[in-house]
């Protein structure tokens, strides 16, 4: 019973850390969105750190960002290898 509770606590902390990385990634990408080269570099780094389902969520977020910054469109090549 105690081992099960410890496993649940561990999993919850892992999910929280993953979510924190995802939120951090969005913050960084927002801040560098003024520069296409920086954005592409940060996007490449993010894709190595995020979990697969987070990458899918990031794609949705980037789609909305592209409406405001269409010049970032060239970085989409990294999302569709």
pLDDT tens digits, residue range 24-78?
999 999 999 999 999 999 999 999 999 899 999 999 999 999 999 999 999 999 9
- Report whether pLDDT(18) > 80: no
Residue 12 CA to residue 34 CA, distance in Å, equals: 35
CB 26 within 8 A of CB 58: yes
* pLDDT at residue number 14: 67
Residue 72 CB partners (closer than 8 Å, separation 6+): 33, 36, 39, 62, 65, 66
Residue 30 CB partners (closer than 8 Å, separation 6+): 65
* pLDDT at residue number 81: 64
* pLDDT at residue number 70: 95
> What pTM was computed for the model?
0.79
């Amino acid at each position: 019973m105690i081992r099960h509770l410890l496993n649940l606590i561990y999993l919850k902390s892992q999910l929280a850390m993953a979510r924190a990385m995802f939120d951090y990634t969005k913050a960084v990408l927002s801040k560098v969105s003024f520069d296409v080269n920086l954005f592409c570099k940060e996007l490449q780094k993010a894709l190595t750190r995020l979990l697969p389902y987070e990458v899918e969520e990031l794609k949705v977020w980037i789609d909305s960002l592209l409406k405001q910054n269409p010049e970032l469109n060239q970085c989409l090549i990294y999302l569709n290898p």
